[in-house]
Structure formats: C-alpha cells, structure tokens
Amino acid sequence: MKYDVILLDADETLFDYRRAAREALAGTCAAFGVPFNEEVHARYHAINDALWRLYEQGGTTQEALRVGRFERLAAALGASFDPAAFNAAYTAALGEGAYLREGALELCRALSGKRPLYIATNGLVATQKRRLEKSPLRPLISDMFISEEIGFQKPRKEYFDAVLAAAGNPDPSRVILLGDSLTSDMAGGRNAGVATCWLAPEDAVDTVGCDYRVSALPDFIPIALA
C-alpha cells in the first residue's frame, strides 16, 4: 500500500516526554519549595497518566486535567502549593524540554519532502507548539493538529475527521499513523479507517490489532514509503 499522508504522534513517539516531564517537575518543585525525589516523580506520573486516560475517554477536560493533577499531587504529598500556579510553571518548563527520541530526526528527514508529515497530538497547545519550534523537526513538519484546538481528542473519530479535512481530505486508506499508545493512537486510527503502526517494545502485547509495529523509529521509514 502506498501512503500519501503520514501522521505522527508527539509524546513518546517523536519527543522524549518522560525526560522533559521529569526535568520540568523537578524544577517546578524546587521553585515552589517542594522536595523532589523518585516517590514524588512516580506519584505524579501515576496521577497524570490516569487523568490523561480519563481525558481520552471523554471523562474530563484538559482544563480540569491541568490543575486537577496538581491538586491531587498536593493532597498526596500533604503540600500546600497553589495547584494553578504550579501547573502554569510546570507547563512553561515542559515546553522547554524539546528532547527527541532516538531516530526521530532521522525518520523525519527521510520522509519529509516525499510525503506530508503531520503531528497528531492530545498534548497541551502551549507545550507542544513551543517544543516543536525549539526542535530541529520544525522545518520538516507540514502542520501540527492538537486536540485542544480541534475540540476533540484521540481516539475520537471526530478528531481524525478534522485532521484529515485539514490535510486535504485524503482517502483514509492511504493515510498511516505512527504512535506509541494503543488506546489513543492505534484505537483512534482504526476508528478513523487509517493504517496504524505501533511503536512499542517487541514483548508488548497488541490488544488492538495494528497494521504494523516497530520497535525503533527508523524501522517505520520503509513502511511509510512502501
């Protein structure tokens, strides 16, 4: 199958979200006088990941998620910082962490100019736009579609409908999506009728039924250009 349009997830696909998030959380904790250690780091990610899953299911909004994660973290730590102010500082710091995953630049350089490349993400507008602008990927990416701006989130079909409309209404069967999440990327791609390629460790179990899977980003190049 020849693919005319390529959709790429951002966090943990192109960008090293975990590294950026750790640095942002450590710096924000220091600024607010909150001790930072591995337990704090683990608690935050457990809270944050659960709220993002709830968001994917339509059970919360991004606005509620942003502040709610730090309300829960403050309660878990017995801390008294302002969750809204903490979130604002954390979000700004997160946008500065434009770290790429291994092979991301190689992948985009190989595909750019041959196919239009679009980032499809559920991330926050301010964070995602800042990281892309700071990264060497910027001139290689045709556009970025962020759920906060679209009004629907992955895996909703409405999100992908809006993305494909903005990309010129290509035949969905000639569009392929690369991402690391089964619940938002792979399930969403299947809902929308686009081909899916799961970026995952070799021992991870595919519960969705992806069209392809790779364990390293450069392995996606021959699939996308088939």
Residue 152 region by backbone torsions, left for phi larger than 0, else alpha for psi between -120 and 50, else beta: beta
Q: Are 19 and 191 in contact (CB under 8 A)?
A: no
Closest among 53, 96, 95, 49 to 69, alpha carbons compared: 49
Adjacent-strand bridge partners of 196? 177
Closest among 8, 24, 184, 189 to 105, alpha carbons compared: 8
Catalytic annotation, pick one of 4, 9, 11, 143: 9
16 counts as catalytic:
no
Buried b (16+ CB within 10 A) or exposed e, 184-203: bbbbbbbbbebbbbbbbeee
Indicate which residues carry an active-site annotation.
Answer: 9
